[in-house]
Every structure is written in structure tokens, then in C-alpha cells.
Amino acid sequence: MAKYKTIEFERVGSVGWLRLDRPEKLNSFTVWMWHEMRALGEDVRDDPELRAVVVIGKGRAFSSGIDTSVFTAGPDDAIQTGDDAGTRHNDPTIDGILRAQAAYSWLAEAR
């Protein structure tokens, strides 16, 4: 399993512990965090031994929501992830929303 910068994943038996790991920013979500959550989902979503995933935040907050700096990032700040998520919509705002949704959808779709 990959090493992550903004999340941690630990497995204890059949339970996975997903920890948001930006306590200095109250675990606010960034584009990179969404990328890592989507990658984690690809790694664990079809694991028949994984029965539950507990999502928690490190530090004093679960999450303060979205890191508003993502709205002011320019094209030079774009994260090159090398993933195969691809463009999902011609409008960059809608594309960003769809990519963010993909970071969470695996939690609902896992069996």
C-alpha cells in the first residue's frame, strides 16, 4: 500500500482506520487529500477481508471542511498526480467537484 502525506491508513484485523492527517490545518481537505483518498479507495475497495472503515481526524478536530486555499490556487499550483482519473467534464469547476466526489464514493460502494 502506498505511503500518504495527508492521510494515514491502518488495518487492525478486518477494520481499517482512515485518519485525516493535517492537524495543523484542522484536517481541512485539499486537492491532494482527495487524490490520496481516491487512491486508497482503489487499494482497498474490493478487499473481502475489510469489513469496516472508521474515518477520524488527527488532533483536535475531525475536519474543518475544505481548505479555502484551493479556490485561490492558480494553474501553476495544480497538482500533477499521474493518476488515471482523467477529465470528467469540460468545465474545470465541475471537473474538480466530480474528482472530489470520487474521493468519497468508494466508501459507499465498498462491499
The pLDDT tens digits for 69-106 are: 877 765 544 555 555 556 666 777 777 777 777 777 87
Q: Quote the pLDDT of residue 25.
A: 95
The pLDDT tens digits for 25-66 are: 999 998 889 889 989 998 998 899 999 999 999 999 999 988
DSSP string of 77-107, one letter each residue: G------S-----SSHHHHHHHHHHHHHHHH
Domains and their CATH numbers in the chain: 11-68+88-109 (3.90.226.10)
Element (H, E) at 37: helix 31-44
The three cell numbers of residue 101 are 466526489
> pTM of the prediction?
0.73
